[in-house]
């Protein structure tokens, strides 16, 4: 199929940077679009949102799609920037800023979006003796997990539609890490009229999404109830406009985002086929089984997964029993293949690695910095050279191996 987005010579001359390098951080900053890019986005936004599963836009990566991925990534980065982890602060485990000033406070004053609601999630009450207690280890208490925002009237002209964006940060507190450890599949059962027992998702992520701790200081109910209520309100408010629902998240946040996208589509909130639901996932793990993947595809949920080939979190859970398992032994499908984890959506592969700090392979700043073309201190991706360094580097590589092991263990053991 030909590329449905008109190609401007000016835009295409800004070719995407090579997707191989390394970076540890990036500044959150306001971004203004060139007029040519803005006009193309307004005309081709449905393709950018995945109408045709990003056909001919990922390989090679179209500059307009790249810019949109970065833009939504910056909204996710704002969650980390605004999250208060100071135990002495009155906003501890909450957002540091009020809704009206949050985007401005993190450098996104000119984003063209307005925050409409903060979202809180309750981690399951799990006690694991191997995890040391900390000020962040209190379970069964709501924590700020992300926010909902809508494009302003002015931004609508640039985007070509009213965009409802929901963003989620990744794992930060100990109870959230505990939830990630619950690596077992359980039926989602989000539609009370059709529970679909064959659609299964990871238990810990589902618990974060649906847990309802009424005794917490916010008293807002589950993350799910907060989100569905606000999305329903915004869809009704803008019912006479073209609307898109864009969900973006990093790591655990991308898992919550995919659950939300599935939920919206399963319940018909998106006025089937009329309101596109798109997920931009950064370093996301698998969320559900093959039944979940197939149902998401059937419902038209579009997912673009930005994946570092060196990021171990993107290969979990289901390191062995995953979407590739049925290919074993000549493609024979085992009876228990329905219990295998499976990724959903289109994969955009990038490649970055830093020997002295291997945990950067999962860092959101590294992901977005690479796409923005602002990578520093590139290191050779040659595997032979890396292997040689492993044997010759001594202590440096031993330290790197320990750091990588700790990263994986903290997510799933």
Q: Is 337 a catalytic residue?
A: no
Average pLDDT, the chain: 79
Helices (H), 106-170: 153-159
Residue 32, pLDDT above cutoff 80: no
Share of the chain above pLDDT 90, in %: 60
**Which entry of 222, 362, 363, 366 is annotated as an active-site residue?**
362
pLDDT of the residue at 321: 58
CATH number, residue 30: 3.40.50.1820
In a domain, 100, yes or no: yes
67-76, 125-134, 159-168, 338-347: segment of lowest average pLDDT: 125-134
Q: Is 14 a catalytic residue?
A: no
Beta strands in 273-355 (DSSP E): 277-282, 288-289, 302-308, 341-342, 346-352
In a domain, 191, yes or no: yes
Strand 341-342 to strand 277-282: parallel, antiparallel, or no bridges (unpaired)? unpaired
Q: Of the segments 121-130, 181-190, 200-209, 228-237, which one has the largest average pLDDT value?
A: 228-237
In a domain, 38, yes or no: yes
| 3-state SS, residue 22 | coil
Band of the pLDDT at 7, cuts 50, 70, 90? very low
Report which of residues 358 and 257 the model is more confident about: 257
- Residue 244 host element (H or E): strand 243-250
In a domain, 1, yes or no: no
Cα separation, 1 vs 307, whole angstroms: 25
In a domain, 2, yes or no: no
Residue 29, pLDDT above cutoff 90: no
272-276, 312-316, 354-358, 384-388: segment of lowest average pLDDT: 384-388
Q: What is the mean pLDDT of residues 139-156?
A: 89
Q: Rounded to two decimals, what is the model's pTM?
A: 0.81
Band of the pLDDT at 373, cuts 50, 70, 90? confident
In a domain, 4, yes or no: no
Band of the pLDDT at 359, cuts 50, 70, 90? confident
131: left (phi over 0), alpha (psi -120 to 50) or beta: beta
Residue 373 CB neighbours (<10 A):
15
Q: Is 251 a catalytic residue?
A: yes
Domain count within the chain:
1
In a domain, 25, yes or no: yes
In a domain, 133, yes or no: yes
Q: What is the mean pLDDT of residues 238-244?
A: 96
**Half-sphere exposure in the Cβ direction for 284 (13 Å, CA):** 35
**Which entry of 251, 254, 255, 281 is annotated as an active-site residue?**
251
pLDDT of the residue at 391: 38
249 and 263 in contact (C-beta within 8 Å)? no
Residue 36 lies in domain: 9-411
362 and 250 in contact (C-beta within 8 Å)? no
pLDDT of the residue at 90: 94
**Which entry of 311, 343, 363, 366 is annotated as an active-site residue?**
311
- The string of pLDDT tens digits covering residues 268-296 is 999 877 999 999 999 999 999 999 999 99
Share of the chain above pLDDT 70, in %: 68
Residue found by looking up tokens 């999305």 in the block = 231
How far are the Cα atoms of 214, 278, 352, 388, 390 from residue 384, in angstroms, in the given order?
55, 38, 16, 6, 10
Among 82, 87, 85, 108, CA closest to 97: 82
Residue 338, pLDDT above cutoff 70: no
pLDDT of the residue at 275: 97
Residue 54, pLDDT above cutoff 60: yes
Structure tokens at 367: 């992901």
Report which of residues 378 and 53 the model is more confident about: 53
Among 259, 93, 90, 239, CA closest to 166: 259
Under DSSP, the state recorded for 217 is S
């Amino acid at each position: 199929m030909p590329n449905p987005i008109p190609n401007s010579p000016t835009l295409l001359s800004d070719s995407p940077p090579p997707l191989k390098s390394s970076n540890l951080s990036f500044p959150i900053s306001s971004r203004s679009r060139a007029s040519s890019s803005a006009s193309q986005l307004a005309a081709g936004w449905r393709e950018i949102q995945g109408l045709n599963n990003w056909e001919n836009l990922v390989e090679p990566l179209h500059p307009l799609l790249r810019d949109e991925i970065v833009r939504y990534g910056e909204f996710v980065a704002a969650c980390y920037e605004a999250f208060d982890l100071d135990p002495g602060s009155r906003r501890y485990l909450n957002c540091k800023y009020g809704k009206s000033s949050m985007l401005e406070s993190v450098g996104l004053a000119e984003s063209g979006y307005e925050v409409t609601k903060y979202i809180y999630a309750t981690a399951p009450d799990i006690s694991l003796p191997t995890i040391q207690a900390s000020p962040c280890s209190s379970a069964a208490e709501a924590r700020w997990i992300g926010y909902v925002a809508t494009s302003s009237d002015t931004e609508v002209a640039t985007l070509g539609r009213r965009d409802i964006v929901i963003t989620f940060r990744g794992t930060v507190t100990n109870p959230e890490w505990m939830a990630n450890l619950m690596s077992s599949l359980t039926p989602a059962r989000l539609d009370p009229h059709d529970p679909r027992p064959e659609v299964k998702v990871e238990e810990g992520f589902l618990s974060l999404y649906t847990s309802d701790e009424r005794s917490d200081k916010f008293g807002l109910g589950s993350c799910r109830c907060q989100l569905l209520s606000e999305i329903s309100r915004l869809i009704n408010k803008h019912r006479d406009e073209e609307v898109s629902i864009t969900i973006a998240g990093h790591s655990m946040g991308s898992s919550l985002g995919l659950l939300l996208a599935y939920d919206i589509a399963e319940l018909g909130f998106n006025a089937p086929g009329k309101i596109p639901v798109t997920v931009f996932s950064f370093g996301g793990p698998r969320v559900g089984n093959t039944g979940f993947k197939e149902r998401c595809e059937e419902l038209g949920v579009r997912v673009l997964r930005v994946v570092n080939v060196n990021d171990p979190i993107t290969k979990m859970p289901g390191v062995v029993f995953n979407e590739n398992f049925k290919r074993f032994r000549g493609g024979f499908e085992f009876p228990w293949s329905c219990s295998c984890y499976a990724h959903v959506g289109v994969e955009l592969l990038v490649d970055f690695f830093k020997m002295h700090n291997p945990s950067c392979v999962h860092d959101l700043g590294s992901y977005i910095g690479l796409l923005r073309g602002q990578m520093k201190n590139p290191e050779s991706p040659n595997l032979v050279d890396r292997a040689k360094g492993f044997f010759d580097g001594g202590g440096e590589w031993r330290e790197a191996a320990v750091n990588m092991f700790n990263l994986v263990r903290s997510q799933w053991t």
